[in-house]
């Protein structure tokens, strides 16, 4: 046995080997030493033919899932070596072999997975200046691939991996080497890469693996025919899964090639800064856009919603296709609430289909599937009144699968058990033989009592008894005083002190029936269950399509519910490069979390007269909130969701870039300024005229004059070369001079009011540049002691009097100061005022501001 253990271990050197011995999984040698320390198990020893006893530790087989989960969480792989033959009938050693390798990306147990999140395993492959990333979730059957080319291919592949957050990543040697110098892969927390065997990535081997997996003769239907880089990544991933899972993976029956798909590009920085799936500092779902929009009722819908948020559309037709469906659901409140209630009753069909494929389906899953399929006709009926193409398409994909539903209802009992080993899950009346076995099993005592009465009457032995002994089974016991009445056909089995025990052929038959009925009934139940699983396996593709339709409907209902509850409006989607016009826009998450009334603001950028908004104002006034809300409104529109505004005209946008906040990354040896400049460089190199840029405090991470120079140069480049719609928040008031120098640049400020030595933030965005920073007043609000802020005011007065800062900063290029605004700026502000829509307070603020500028 130990020789066999070592042979198996040699095949799975990178795994902890769980070796089944009876009711335990045992580990030996180095595995035992390591696992006993990791899991706090008792380390013992076992004789193994060597001079020293083999170190050993073990766990009960019925508790294995818990221990496997802990090992996987610690980054280990676990190879499960099972007993393949019955110890009772085996001659010699029991047959054993590895039936599955469990790793972070191949978990299939419900209790180890988050129902509302995918558990992706990814394969990244590099060859020359080409990369591909393939990924799948074996519990749902989702299988996708993207390819990248050019000098930035590793970085783009890395962005893709960061967005996916896979639980496990396998790579080829070339990708592993390139990843060491890739900032995206170095500075984002991803699981350690695992190199896979080179031959699995060869195009011919990979293509054959995929053709065999999909049962096709060509890869053309999946869009990757001739795309060697994508084929290699996908084929290697399938090879790895076959090697570790040891079965056919029937739910991996198709593949999506994502390149050229109509989705907006979002890099990891934008995903993080806009807090799309988790908050920036605490890393929690609450406070993210996903948290706000997630009113889904099913695990399938929740997983899809995350995917939709990370991959917004950038096709006008596709966006409007979704929006029309959301609008219908938005307007049909009563029906929408009814649909949401109906969806609550549907279980995770997508993962049940995965369980059918992975052969870990339970009777409870079958019962849940039957209940879910029974709800589908009701769901279709609720959708009959809708006419939008997207909802009609969903209806067409809601397969009722009545034959499967009827089969499950006929075979599986209500409140079915999770485990199959004890039987009791096949419905009475489905199989006559099974019913007979159960009748015998449950009526064994009655059969023996009936036989006992019959034998007493036939023999005249009044104290005749039929007793059971674990060694000899059932026997007829007759006391010595009645021995002379024992019939000839009784066969003596045992002599005891006061009696003799006998058996008869009839008793042997009854005993056989009683003692084997339990075992035979369980075997027959398992055989029936195998037939049920086989019927389900033939319908995996339809179950997946049904699950995807329900998940998509769940997301649209969620969008409509949030939009109605929060009073959002349907955005008008314009073409690429069209104007961006948001009236009374609000930050969706801040508004939802704030106890105060949110102050709405307009955003208007036509890409010509206004393509860059320079936004000035003190800290805490709301600059960052305003810029983020603009980005989120644009992104929500691209999801096909209503947006938090009075009205919105949103152009199709190819990418959203962000440079928000600043923080040192000391662990990874990156300064604040280095982080900032890396993000700015990415924006300058990748932005297009159809992108939306959010830049907050560019240049803040270095000295005042270096920072001002960089911010000035970046603004000039964005305005003159890239011409993308840009919101640029800054404390460098000198930058407001660019409005007179560069076409398309406009100054805006967040209004504040001074009162009694403090500032009141009005949160309103208006035309013009801020007059002062109010830094000292904000410091006072933040709780800085009065003596410190008083001293700061003294120092500020001396600096202003000596004009230290201004004298040092002034150059020929920056000729006009903020303290002396040109008359043209005042004229521009007046010419752009919309007096019909100006409130009295706003008019007073504008007049006060202009008066102050003219006096100075």
Whichever domain contains 68, its CATH number is: 3.40.1170.10
Looking at the fold, whether 370 and 513 belong to one and the same domain comes out as no
Domain boundary among 70, 102, 134: 102
Annotated binding site for ATP: 617-624
Residue 312: what pLDDT? Answer: 96
Radius of gyration of the chain measured on its C-alpha atoms = 36
Alpha carbons 302 and 551: distance in angstroms, whole number: 8
Specify whether the CB–CB gap between 850 and 833 falls below 8 A: no
- Domain with 429, as residue range(s), is 402-493+502-538
| Global pTM exceeds 0.85 | no
Looking at the fold, whether 440 and 511 belong to one and the same domain comes out as yes
Looking at the fold, whether 470 and 443 belong to one and the same domain comes out as yes
Helical H segments across 120-172, by residue range: 153-164
User: Does residue 698 form part of some domain?
Assistant: yes
What DSSP designation does 413 have? Answer: P
Residue 419: what pLDDT? Answer: 84
Residue 178: what pLDDT? Answer: 92
User: Does residue 128 form part of some domain?
Assistant: yes
Question: Per-residue DSSP letters for 301-363?
Answer: HHHHHHHHHHS-B--HHHHHHHHHHHHHHHH-HHHHHHHHHHHHT---HHHHHHHHHHT---H
Looking at the fold, whether 143 and 221 belong to one and the same domain comes out as yes
Looking at the fold, whether 39 and 172 belong to one and the same domain comes out as no
User: Does residue 803 form part of some domain?
Assistant: no
Segments of the chain with pLDDT less than 70: 88, 260-261, 661-672, 701-704, 754-761, 770-783, 786, 789, 792-825, 836-839, 841-842, 853, 855-856
Domain boundary among 257, 284, 308: 257
Looking at the fold, whether 556 and 597 belong to one and the same domain comes out as no
Going along 43-150, which residue ranges are E strands? 44-46, 54-60, 78-83, 96-102, 121-127, 130-137, 142-149
Number of domains in the chain: 6
User: Does residue 353 form part of some domain?
Assistant: yes
Looking at the fold, whether 629 and 678 belong to one and the same domain comes out as yes
Specify whether the CB–CB gap between 301 and 348 falls below 8 A: no
Secondary structure, 3-state, 182-224? CHHHHCCCCCCEEECCHHHHCHHHHHHHHHHHHCCCCCHHHCC
Q: Which of helix, strand or coil describes residue 522?
A: helix
- Residue-wise pLDDT tens digits, 323-358: 999 999 999 999 999 999 999 999 999 999 999 999
Domain boundary among 257, 284, 307: 257
Question: What is the CATH classification number for the domain harbouring 661?
Answer: 3.40.50.300
Looking at the fold, whether 534 and 549 belong to one and the same domain comes out as no
Looking at the fold, whether 532 and 545 belong to one and the same domain comes out as no
Question: What is the CATH classification number for the domain harbouring 153?
Answer: 3.30.420.110
Looking at the fold, whether 181 and 80 belong to one and the same domain comes out as no
User: Does residue 311 form part of some domain?
Assistant: no
Q: Which of helix, strand or coil describes residue 820?
A: coil
Residue 815: what pLDDT? Answer: 38
CA distances from 581 to 319, 438, 570, 585, 718 (A): 18, 73, 13, 10, 20
Annotated binding site: 617-624
Looking at the fold, whether 732 and 833 belong to one and the same domain comes out as no
Question: What is the CATH classification number for the domain harbouring 420?
Answer: 1.10.1420.10
Looking at the fold, whether 437 and 510 belong to one and the same domain comes out as yes
User: Does residue 284 form part of some domain?
Assistant: no
Q: What angle do CA 74, 75, 78 make, to 5 degrees?
A: 100
Residue 676: what pLDDT? Answer: 75
User: Does residue 285 form part of some domain?
Assistant: no
User: Does residue 435 form part of some domain?
Assistant: yes
What are residue 274's phi and psi, to 5 degrees? -85, 0
């Amino acid at each position: 046995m130990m020789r066999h253990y070592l042979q198996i271990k040699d095949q799975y050197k990178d795994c902890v080997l769980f070796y089944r011995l009876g009711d335990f999984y045992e580990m030996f040698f180095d595995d035992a030493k390591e696992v006993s320390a990791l899991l706090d198990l008792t380390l013992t020893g076992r004789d193994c033919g060597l001079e020293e006893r083999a170190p050993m530790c073990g766990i009960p087989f019925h508790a294995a899932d818990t221990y496997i989960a802990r090992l996987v969480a610690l980054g280990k792989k676990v190879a499960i070596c099972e007993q393949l033959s019955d110890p009772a009938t085996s001659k010699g050693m029991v047959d054993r072999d590895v039936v599955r390798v469990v790793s972070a990306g191949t978990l299939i147990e419900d209790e180890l997975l988050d129902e509302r999140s995918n558990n992706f395993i990814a394969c990244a492959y590099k060859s020359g200046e080409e990369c591909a990333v393939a990924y799948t979730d074996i519990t749902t059957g989702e299988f996708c691939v993207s390819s990248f080319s050019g000098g930035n291919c590793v970085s783009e592949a890395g962005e893709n991996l960061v967005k996916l957050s896979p639980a496990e990543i396998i790579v080829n040697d070339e990708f592993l080497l390139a990843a060491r110098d890739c900032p995206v892969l170095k500075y984002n927390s991803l699981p350690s890469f695992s190199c896979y065997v080179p031959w699995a990535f060869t195009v011919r081997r990979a293509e054959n693996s995929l053709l065999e997996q999909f049962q096709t003769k060509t890869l053309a239907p999946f869009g990757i025919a001739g795309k060697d880089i994508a084929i290699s990544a996908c084929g290697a991933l399938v090879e790895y899964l076959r090697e570790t899972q040891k079965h056919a993976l029937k739910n991996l029956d198709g593949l999506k090639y994502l390149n050229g798909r109509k989705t907006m590009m979002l890099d990891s920085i934008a995903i993080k800064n806009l807090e799309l799936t988790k908050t920036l500092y605490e890393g929690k779902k609450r406070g993210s856009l996903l948290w706000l929009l997630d009113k889904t009722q099913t695990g399938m819908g929740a997983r899809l919603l995350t995917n939709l948020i990370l991959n917004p559309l950038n096709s006008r037709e596709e966006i409007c296709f979704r929006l029309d469906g959301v609008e219908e659901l938005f307007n049909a409140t009563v029906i929408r609430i009814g649909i949401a209630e109906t969806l609550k009753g549907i279980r995770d069909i997508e993962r049940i289909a995965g369980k059918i494929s992975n052969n870990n389906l339970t009777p409870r899953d079958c019962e849940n599937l039957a209940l879910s399929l029974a709800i589908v006709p009701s769901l279709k009926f609720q959708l009959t009144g809708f006419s939008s193409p997207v909802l009609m398409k969903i209806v067409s994909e809601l397969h009722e699968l009545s034959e499967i539903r009827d089969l499950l209802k006929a075979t599986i009992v209500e409140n079915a058990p999770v485990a199959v080993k004890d039987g009791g899950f096949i419905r009475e009346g489905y199989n006559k033989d099974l019913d007979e076995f159960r009748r015998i099993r449950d009526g064994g005592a009655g059969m023996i009592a009936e036989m006992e009465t019959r034998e007493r009457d036939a023999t005249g032995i009044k104290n005749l008894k039929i007793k059971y002994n674990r060694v000899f089974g059932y026997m007829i016991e007759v006391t010595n005083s009645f021995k002379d009445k024992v019939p000839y056909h009784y066969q003596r089995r045992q002599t005891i002190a006061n009696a003799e025990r006998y058996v008869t052929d009839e008793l042997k038959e009854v005993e056989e029936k009683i003692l084997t009925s339990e075992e035979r009934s369980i075997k027959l139940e398992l055989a029936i269950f195998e037939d049920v699983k086989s019927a389900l396996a033939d319908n995996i593709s339809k179950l997946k399509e049904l699950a995807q339709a329900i998940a998509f409907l769940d997301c649209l209902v969620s969008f409509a519910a949030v939009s109605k509850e929060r009073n959002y409006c349907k955005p008008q989607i314009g073409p690429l490069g069209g104007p961006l016009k948001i009236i009374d826009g609000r930050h969706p998450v801040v508004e939802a979390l704030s106890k105060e009334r949110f102050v709405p603001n307009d955003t208007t950028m036509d890409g010509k007269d206004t393509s860059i908004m320079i936004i000035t104002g003190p800290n805490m006034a709301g600059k960052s909130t305003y810029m983020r809300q603009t980005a989120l409104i644009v992104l929500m529109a691209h999801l096909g969701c209503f947006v938090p505004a009075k009205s919105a005209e949103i152009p199709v946008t190819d990418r959203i870039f962000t440079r928000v906040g600043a923080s040192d990354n000391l662990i990874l040896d990156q300064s604040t300024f280095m982080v900032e400049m890396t993000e700015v460089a990415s924006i300058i190199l990748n932005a297009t005229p159809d992108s939306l840029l959010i830049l907050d405090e560019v240049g803040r991470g270095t000295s005042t004059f270096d920072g001002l120079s960089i911010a000035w140069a970046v603004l000039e480049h964005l305005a003159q070369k890239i011409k993308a719609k840009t919101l640029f928040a800054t404390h460098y008031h000198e930058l407001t001079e660019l409005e007179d120098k560069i076409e398309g640049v406009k100054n805006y400020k967040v209004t504040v009011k001074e009162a009694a030595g403090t500032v009141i933030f009005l949160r309103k965005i208006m035309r013009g540049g801020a007059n002062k920073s109010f830094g000292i007043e904000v410091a006072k609000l933040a709780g800085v002691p009065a003596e410190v802020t008083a001293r700061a005011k003294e120092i500020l007065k001396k600096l202003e009097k000596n004009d230290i800062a201004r004298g040092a900063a002034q150059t020929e290029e920056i000729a006009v100061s903020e303290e002396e605004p040109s008359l043209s700026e005042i004229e521009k502000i007046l010419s752009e005022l919309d007096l019909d829509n100006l409130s009295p307070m706003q008019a007073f603020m504008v007049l006060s501001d202009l008066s102050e500028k003219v006096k100075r």
